[in-house]
Each structure stands twice: as structure tokens, then as C-alpha cells.
């Protein structure tokens, strides 16, 4: 019972600080900024499972791989929006959370522990600990890697037949996928590549691999009522990858010139963050304070 009340009030206090704050005229400008930029792809969404998973990373709007610099910038940016000096007392709760998240993520030790606790593995490109959907490496890293264009794949299973340690069938999608790079000896791999009737197995540069493997995964498609919905992936994954890399580069270049590498959040993300706040708030002792405050009618948040 109390959960619902709390999250609503947190939502109000976190996502709409302007409603009770006078003199902070800047807020509406920043709202419109959010809208302009909301189409930009954000890294942190990419491996998100359909279930709602809110955490410190989302609170700060950074990816799980982000480095200290990115976290710092995101933190400062959000503080500038929500710090009680700017939004008044409403910002207190939210600012507390930001401080907490910042403290944990800035300390290598605490961050590792936190990552473990939320079951989030930090993946760096080219490292060996990739979860489902990404190929792992057998042996040392090489300049080229195998990639299956799953759009073209007809699911014949020839490649799996010749190099079963390297390829695997995704039964749900009915297409083959690279499981382990160089999982079999070079000869078997070569045979399996040749055996593909539609030539959908490609040798690609190792640097391009993570982007390709990311883009080839079906992403949930936005639905409008009964229309749309479902899953989609780019029709031509190679040109999509090129566009993506280019976008990343311009973003970096932009980031360097203006000192901003984090992307403005969309209203939906802001709401997700507010929900995250509410959920984090619910942990442990805080719940107790909230409960009492509501019961005895102190309302200072």
C-alpha cells in the first residue's frame, strides 16, 4: 500500500521539480532540450532485458561500461538540474540519491561490489566475458573475426555441422550465430564458411564486431495500439554499423569540444530514473522512515 504512494510522490518530486519552484526559469528550456535530443541512441539501453531494471547507472543516465569521467560529468549535469540549491527542498531526496550513486560508482571497489549485487557485468569491448548474444574468444585476439548476418541466414545448419564449437543455432530466431571465435581449427572454420549456401558468414575487422553483434540483435519495436510492436533489426547490418560508428565518432568529437559526452535524456528516461529513485528508496531503512512519515503525517519530502 505504502509503496504506491511513495513512488508517486517521488515521481512528482523528482521528475517535476519545476512545479513548486519559483524563480527557476531555466527548467522549461531544459525540457525542450530533452525533446530535441531524444532520438539519439543511448548505449545503456542496448542490452537491457524487457523487465524493468533500475539502478545507479540509470539514475545517472550512464552505461555500465562508462568510465569515471563520464560518470562525473553525468553526475554534475544532473546535480545542476536537481540540486536543492536550484530546485529547493524538493531536490533534497533526489540529490541524496545522486550522491549515493556517485559515491558507489566512483569507487572502483564499491562499484565492483555493486555490479555484482545487481548482476550486471561490466563488459568492455574486446574482453572475454561477453554474455549471451556476443561471441567469446578462443585463444588470443586476432585482427579478423567471424560474423553471421542473421538477416540473410536461412538456418540450414551447415556451419554448425562443420564447426560445432564455433557456431550455434538460435532456435528461437532460426538462424546461426557465432558462439566462440576460432572455436575450431582454422580448416574446419574455412570449410563451414564455404559451406554456407547464402554466403552469410563474413570475416570482419575485430573492432567492428561488437557494433555488428549489437545491431544484429532484435530490438523491441515501438507499438502504436494494435499496430506495430514486435521486434526489428536493421535490414542491412553493415551499413547500419557504419552509420552507428560514425554517429559515435561525431558524438565523441562533439563531446570533446563542449565537454559533454552524456546524452540528454528523454522524458521517458527521466521517468524511468524517477522510478529508479523510488525503488532504491524502498530499500531497507528508508522504507521505515517513509512509512512513519506518512503514518504520522510529517511531510517534508
Is 282 near another protein (CB under 8 A)?
Answer: no
**Considering only 15-23, 51-59, 164-172, 173-181, which stretch makes contact with another protein by CB under 8 A?**
15-23
Is 260 near another protein (CB under 8 A)?
Answer: yes
Is 294 near another protein (CB under 8 A)?
Answer: no
Among 86, 156, 173, 282, binds another protein (CB under 8 A): 86
Three-state secondary structure of 179-233: CEECCCCHHHHHHHHHHCCCCCEEEEECCCHHHHHHHHCCEECCEECCEECCEEC
Q: Which residue has 548476418 as its cell numbers?
A: 149
Is 114 near another protein (CB under 8 A)?
Answer: no
Element (H, E) at 115: helix 108-117
Identify the CA nearest to 239 among candidates 262, 212, 261: 212
Of 91 and 210, CB closest to another protein: 91
Is 21 near another protein (CB under 8 A)?
Answer: yes
Residue 282 beta carbon to another protein: minimum distance, rounded to whole angstroms: 11
Is 16 near another protein (CB under 8 A)?
Answer: no
DSSP per position, 140-172: S--SEEEEE-TTT-----HHHHH-TTTEEEETT
Of 39 and 299, CB closest to another protein: 299
Residue 15 beta carbon to another protein: minimum distance, rounded to whole angstroms: 18
Is 26 near another protein (CB under 8 A)?
Answer: yes
Residues in the chain: 301
Q: Which residue has 557504419 as its cell numbers?
A: 242
The conformation of residue 132, written as its DSSP 8-state character, comes to T
Is 76 near another protein (CB under 8 A)?
Answer: yes
Is 4 near another protein (CB under 8 A)?
Answer: no
Residue 259 beta carbon to another protein: minimum distance, rounded to whole angstroms: 3
Is 288 near another protein (CB under 8 A)?
Answer: yes
Q: How far apart are CA 194 and CA 160, in angstroms?
A: 12
Residue 274 beta carbon to another protein: minimum distance, rounded to whole angstroms: 17
Using CB under 8 A as the criterion, what x/- string covers residues 88-107 for binding another protein? Answer: -x-xx--xx--x--xx----
> Could you tell me if 246 and 239 are in contact, meaning their C-beta atoms sit under 8 angstroms apart?
no
How many CB atoms lie under 10 A from the CB of residue 292?
11
Q: For residue 188, what are the contacts with CB-CB under 8 A and spacing of at least 6? A: 162, 163, 166
Is 68 near another protein (CB under 8 A)?
Answer: no
Is 12 near another protein (CB under 8 A)?
Answer: no
Cell of 187: 580448416
**Which residues of this protein are in contact with another protein, per CB under 8 A?**
21-26, 72-73, 76-77, 79-80, 83-86, 89, 91-92, 95-96, 99, 102-103, 257-260, 285, 287-289, 291-292, 296, 298, 300
Amino acid at each position: 500500500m505504502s509503496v504506491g504512494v511513495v513512488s508517486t510522490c517521488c515521481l512528482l518530486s523528482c521528475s517535476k521539480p519545476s512545479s513548486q519552484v519559483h524563480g527557476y526559469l531555466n527548467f522549461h528550456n531544459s525540457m525542450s532540450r530533452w525533446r530535441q535530443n531524444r532520438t539519439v541512441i543511448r548505449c545503456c539501453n542496448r542490452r537491457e532485458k524487457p523487465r524493468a531494471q533500475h539502478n545507479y547507472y540509470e539514475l545517472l543516465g550512464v552505461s555500465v561500461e562508462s568510465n569515471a569521467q563520464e560518470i562525473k560529468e553525468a553526475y554534475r549535469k544532473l546535480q545542476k538540474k536537481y540540486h536543492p540549491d536550484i530546485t529547493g527542498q524538493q531536490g533534497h531526496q533526489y540529490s541524496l540519491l545522486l550522491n549515493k550513486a556517485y559515491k558507489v560508482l566512483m569507487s572502483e571497489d564499491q562499484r565492483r561490489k555493486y555490479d555484482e549485487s545487481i548482476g550486471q557485468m561490466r563488459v568492455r569491448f574486446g574482453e572475454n566475458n561477453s554474455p549471451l548474444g556476443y561471441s567469446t574468444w578462443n585463444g588470443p585476439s586476432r585482427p579478423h573475426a567471424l560474423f553471421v548476418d542473421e538477416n540473410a541466414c536461412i538456418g540450414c545448419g551447415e556451419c554448425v555441422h562443420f564447426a560445432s564449437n564455433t557456431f550455434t543455432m538460435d532456435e528461437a530466431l532460426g538462424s546461426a550465430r557465432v558462439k566462440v571465435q576460432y572455436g575450431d581449427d582454422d580448416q574446419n572454420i574455412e570449410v563451414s564458411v564455404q559451406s554456407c549456401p547464402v554466403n552469410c558468414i563474413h570475416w570482419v575487422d575485430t573492432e567492428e564486431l561488437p557494433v555488428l553483434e549489437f545491431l544484429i540483435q532484435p530490438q523491441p519495436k515501438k507499438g502504436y495500439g494494435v499496430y506495430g510492436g514486435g521486434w526489428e533489426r536493421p535490414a542491412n547490418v553493415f551499413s547500419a554499423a557504419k552509420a552507428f560508428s560514425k554517429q559515435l565518432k561525431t558524438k565523441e568529437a562533439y563531446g570533446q569540444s563542449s565537454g559533454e559526452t552524456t546524452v540528454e535524456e528523454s522524458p521517458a528516461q527521466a521517468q524511468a530514473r524517477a522510478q529508479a529513485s523510488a525503488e532504491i528508496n524502498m530499500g531497507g531503512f528508508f522504507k521505515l522512515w517513509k512509512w512513519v512519515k506518512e503514518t504520522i503525517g510529517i511531510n517534508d519530502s
